[in-house]
């Protein structure tokens, strides 16, 4: 079985959090303070670069945090997996 990935002219595309460069490299950015509730749904994977502060975090899927995580005012709910490294 084989798979084919079709890429249609990706050249320096950005949505302010993920930048895909024409050489194939990617750069992900997230703010150090996030003001809304973050939910990682079941069956999904997430990655955050810390230190990061979030008011409420719900992890039903998998979340990897690099550095540190602060849940500031709300709840931390983990039904899936949270890894902080």
The whole-model pTM stands at 0.68
Checking if the pLDDT of 4 tops 80, the result is no
Checking if the pLDDT of 63 tops 60, the result is yes
Q: Are strands 57-59 and 52-54 parallel, antiparallel or unpaired?
A: unpaired
Checking if the pLDDT of 75 tops 50, the result is yes
Checking if the pLDDT of 14 tops 80, the result is no
pLDDT band at 74 (very low <50, low <70, confident <90, very high): confident
- Residues forming a β-bridge with 62: 45, 81
Domain residue extents for the chain: 31-84
Residues 66, 16: Cα–Cα separation, whole Å: 19
* Cα 27 to Cα 19, 44, 67, 70, 77, distances in angstroms: 5, 20, 17, 23, 28
Task: Tell me the per-residue pLDDT of 30-45, one tens digit each, with 9 for 90 and over.
Answer: 888 988 898 989 988 8
């Amino acid at each position: 079985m084989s798979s084919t990935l079709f890429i249609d002219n990706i050249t320096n595309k950005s949505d302010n959090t993920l930048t895909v460069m024409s050489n194939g490299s990617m750069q992900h950015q997230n703010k150090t303070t996030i003001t809304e509730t973050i939910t990682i749904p079941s069956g999904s994977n997430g990655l955050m670069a810390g230190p990061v502060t979030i008011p409420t975090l719900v992890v039903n899927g998998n979340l990897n945090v690099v550095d540190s995580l602060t849940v500031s005012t709300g709840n931390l709910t983990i039904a899936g997996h949270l890894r902080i490294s």
